[in-house]
Amino acid sequence: MDKKTVYSGIQPSGSLTLGNYLGALKNFIGLQDEYNCLYCIVDMHAITVAQDPKLLRKNTLDVLALYLAAGLDPEKSIIYIQSHVPQHAELGWILNTISSIGQLQRMTQFKDKSKKSKEVMAGILNYPVLMAADILLYQTSYVPVGEDQKQHVELTRDLAQRFNSKYSDTFTMPDILTPKSGARIMSLQNPEAKMSKSDSDENSYILLLDDEDATRRKIKRAVTDSLNSMAYKDDQPGLKNLINIYSSFTGESVENIVSKYEGQGYGVFKADLGDVIVEGLRPLRESFKEIRSDKSYLEKVYKEGADKASYLANKTLRKVYKKMGFIPR
Ligand code: AQP
């Protein structure tokens, strides 16, 4: 039987956080043997928020090197940069013509991001339509993402359904794949908000490229509570988040972690968590340096990836154009 397709992407809108890693990247690795995987660096998504061109170039190559350092293998997966495959924008346009503005305005991410901007650009509203195009272009069955993307995958299903029923079966219906733990890592300073790479407070996140001291310091400073009682409860959201991070790295159950640190105070737990993260990220941090400095290898990976992705994307797009009544060249 043919392998099913897995598709996911990460925006080079900053340096990647522990949230991006535990919610998405870490889970990409194990899927490579079982599925046909495509992992994209979604630069066209990143520009829905103003980007400095120099930084965007740097961050795009950083994300590519982080993909490879984390264990993505270009021999197994198609790894590429979104703007190298223009079919994403083409299908995005087509899907815009069947997207309802009301539905797009109800997306939580649109509401959050538009609140932060003085002038709301159309790109932020249309972001999930481009994401739908990314997914549907490759006849994707599974989309490994963090919980914050759930609503966007549901919208993708709605658009696929709408197109399929209007023009006959064309797109595979994708399902979301969220990790058991780590699907929603919260800010270290405000555990009610998710950890985000674009947060203005650098103590709110741990970057994959932070050094060991910064990693330990940020965990030490993480907001907890004054109860000083080791527990995994909604009314102790800061501690709950730290336990989730610990569990995501070690695979230990929440119950085990709670009983191991019961009666010891948060300081001991935080110090150990700092070690767990530093050790957990050590291999990635070390191989990143080597991979990032090899420009010709990175170029080879993204060029070959774009060729393979374009071939697949074209197959779907040709079908779509034909069904809609466009004259083939
Ligand atoms: N806090 C998080 N916990 C778990 N998963 C997360 N992801 C993001 N934040 C968390 C997952 O990371 C993948 C890539 O995300 P993205 O960069 O494409 O967009 P995002 O979700 O908007 O991530 P950020 O870090 O919050 O970026 P900015 O600040 O630029 O908006 C996705 O699978 C996402 O679920």
Which CA distances in Å does 30 have to 19, 119, 299?
Answer: 18, 41, 24
pLDDT beyond 80 at 88: yes
pLDDT beyond 80 at 251: yes
| Residue 327: other Cβ atoms inside 10 A | 6
> Is 113 designated active site?
yes
Instruction: Give the E-state strand segments of 55-191 in sequence order.
Output: 77-81, 142-144, 175-177
Beta carbon of 63 within 6 Å of any ligand 1 atom: no
The share of the chain scoring above pLDDT 70, in percent, equals 100
pLDDT beyond 90 at 116: no
> Is 323 designated active site?
no
Nearest atom in ligand 1 to 42's CA: 18
CA–CA distance, 301 with 63 (Å, rounded to integer): 13
Nearest atom in ligand 1 to 182's CA: 4
Name the packing angle between helices 266-292 and 212-220 (round to 10°).
Answer: 150
The active-site residue out of 26, 113, 218, 270 is 113
Beta carbon of 12 within 6 Å of any ligand 1 atom: no
pLDDT beyond 90 at 68: yes
Beta carbon of 146 within 6 Å of any ligand 1 atom: yes
117 pLDDT band, cuts 50/70/90, is confident
pLDDT on residue 41: 98
Beta carbon of 178 within 6 Å of any ligand 1 atom: no
- Give me the mean pLDDT over the 219-248 stretch: 96
Shortest-distance Cα residue to atom 15 of ligand 1: 10
pLDDT on residue 181: 85
pLDDT beyond 80 at 1: no
Higher pLDDT: 118 or 75? It is 75
CA–CA distance, 166 with 97 (Å, rounded to integer): 13
pLDDT beyond 80 at 167: yes
pLDDT on residue 291: 98
pLDDT on residue 3: 95
Q: Which two tokens stand for residue 146?
A: 């963090």
pLDDT on residue 118: 86
pLDDT on residue 75: 98
Q: What is the pLDDT of residues 141-156, one digit of tens each?
A: 999 999 999 999 999 9
Q: Which domains can be identified in the chain, with CATH numbers?
A: 5-178+295-324 (3.40.50.620), 202-289 (1.10.240.10)
- Give me the mean pLDDT over the 120-131 stretch: 96
22 DSSP 8-state letter: I
